[in-house]
């Protein structure tokens, strides 16, 4: 056990300091309604999560998404939420998975190409920004398992900079130009951008006001008290009811936030689900 621990520790240190491509491992899951589902896990030593696609997970999304809907995942990462969203929307629907991380995006592409008989997932390597512009992608790890966009190379996000710039797009303009005919079926948007969620919601508020999708967002632990309150206010002002939920699971605990200060009850990153009032 000690030798294994030392070996794994060395691999993690190496991944933090030296860039290299890591493979994926394909897993099969058998769901009651959907049958065999495949998912590719990224074998980066810094990513020790064991991703599973389960029936309760997919049923969580089916509570809000109907087959044939347009659904959007911003901050899709490797696709662990995008795939079950895609299963809920089905092959007749359209699931857009946005992630600007050029390394993680390669895994998202793999997962988007799986289960094509049951899903229609379109991976998109864009950041969502107020206007179309370019950014640097910056990480604290050489393997880019995490990170974010920055307008300059000097960033608190880290010292590792991806050599190619990242494109940012205005979501409203992008959807109007590329998926305008599908917008009447826009039912669900998930946002997970480590503190930037409220800015994205503000930038797409006309879209939200028109189509009234269910919103899933993140109250990020790294945000200040005022930033968390601003997130609550931004969504509440759009006439949405906001609740905490413990997991992407149909059986998860759900607690309604009855006032803006309720979002401060948890001293950690939490997920919130927002239903149109």
H/E run at residue 139: strand 133-139
Q: Say if residue 14's pLDDT is above 90.
A: no
pLDDT digits (tens, 9 = 90+) for 233-276: 999 999 999 999 999 999 999 999 999 999 999 989 999 999 99
Q: Could you tell me which of 191, 204, 200 has the C-alpha nearest to residue 74?
A: 191
| Chain position carrying tokens 């995006």 | 105
Tell me what pLDDT residue 126 has: 97
Q: At what angle do helices 82-89 and 104-113 cross, to 10 degrees?
A: 30
Q: What per-residue confidence (pLDDT) applies to 154?
A: 87
- What is the number of other CB atoms lying within 10 angstroms of the CB of residue 104? 24
Domain ranges of the chain: 2-131+168-276
Buried b (16+ CB within 10 A) or exposed e, 169-178: bbbbebbeee
Sequence-separated contacts (24+) of 154-163 with Cβ below 8 Å: 160/19, 161/136, 161/137, 162/102, 162/103, 162/136, 162/137, 162/138
Distance CA 153, CA 70 (A): 35
Of 201, 243, 229, 250, which is closest to residue 74 (Cα–Cα)? 201
Span 155-165, pLDDT tens digits:
888 899 999 99
Q: Are 89 and 15 in contact (CB under 8 A)?
A: no
Does pLDDT of 94 surpass 90?
yes
pLDDT at residue number 179: 98
Q: Is the pTM of this model over 0.75?
A: yes
Report the pLDDT averaged over residues 210-231: 95
pLDDT exceeds 90 at position 9: no
* pLDDT the model gives residue 163: 93
pLDDT band at 50 (very low <50, low <70, confident <90, very high): confident
Q: Quote the pLDDT of residue 47.
A: 84
Q: Which fold has domain 2-131+168-276?
A: Rossmann fold (3.40.50)
- pLDDT of 102 reads 96
pLDDT tens track for 125-155: 999 999 999 999 999 999 999 889 999 988 8
| Residue that wins the pLDDT comparison between 14 and 140 | 140
Q: Could you count the other beta carbons within 10 Å of the beta carbon of residue 220? A: 19
Q: How confident is the model at residue 6 (pLDDT cuts 50, 70, 90)?
A: confident
Q: Which residue has the higher pLDDT, 59 or 49?
A: 59
Top-confidence residue, 44 or 14: 44
Which residues in 11-31 are b (16+ Cβ under 10 Å) and which e? eeeebbeeeeebebeeeebeb
Confidence of residue 181 (pLDDT cuts 50, 70, 90): very high
User: Which pLDDT belongs to residue 60?
Assistant: 98
Residue of 117, 122, 115 lying closest to 96 (CA atoms) = 122
Greater confidence, 57 or 21? 57
- Residue 79 is given by DSSP the state S
pLDDT of residue 157: 84
Least confident of 11-15, 39-43, 104-108: 11-15
The label of the residue with tokens 């309720």 reads: 262
Give the pLDDT score at 197: 93
The reported pLDDT for the residue numbered 158 is: 87
Residue pair 216/191 in contact (Cβ under 8 Å)? The answer is: yes
CB 79 within 8 A of CB 115: no
Residue 2 has pLDDT above 90, yes or no: no
For 211-272, the DSSP string reads H--EEEEEE-TTS-HHHHHHHHHHHHTTTEEEEEESSSSTT--EEE--SGGGGGS-SS-EEE
């Amino acid at each position: 056990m000690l030798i294994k621990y030392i070996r794994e520790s060395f691999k993690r240190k190496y991944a933090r300091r030296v860039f290299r491509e890591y493979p994926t491992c394909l897993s099969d899951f058998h769901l009651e309604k959907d049958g065999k589902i495949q998912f590719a896990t990224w074998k980066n030593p810094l990513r020790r999560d064991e991703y599973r696609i389960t029936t309760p997970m997919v049923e969580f999304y089916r509570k809000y998404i109907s087959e044939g809907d347009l659904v959007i995942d911003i901050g899709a990462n490797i696709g662990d939420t995008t795939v079950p969203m895609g299963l809920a929307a089905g092959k007749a629907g359209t699931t857009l998975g946005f992630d600007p991380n050029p390394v993680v995006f390669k895994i998202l592409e793999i997962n988007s190409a799986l289960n094509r008989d049951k899903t229609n997932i379109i991976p998109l390597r864009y950041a969502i920004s107020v206007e179309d512009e370019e950014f640097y992608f910056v990480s604290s790890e050489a393997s880019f398992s995490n990170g974010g966009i920055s307008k300059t190379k000097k960033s608190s996000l880290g010292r590792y900079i991806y050599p190619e710039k990242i494109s940012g797009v205005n979501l409203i303009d992008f959807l109007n130009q590329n998926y305008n005919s599908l917008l009447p079926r826009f039912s669900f948007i998930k946002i997970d951008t480590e503190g930037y969620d409220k800015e994205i919601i503000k930038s797409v508020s006309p879209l939200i006001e028109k189509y009234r999708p269910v919103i899933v967002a993140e109250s990020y632990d790294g945000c200040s008290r005022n930033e968390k309150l601003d997130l609550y206010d931004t969504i509440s002002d759009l006439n949405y009811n906001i609740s905490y939920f413990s997991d992407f699971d149909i059986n998860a605990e759900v607690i309604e936030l009855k006032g803006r200060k309720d979002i401060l009850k948890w001293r950690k990153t939490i997920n919130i689900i927002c239903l149109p009032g």
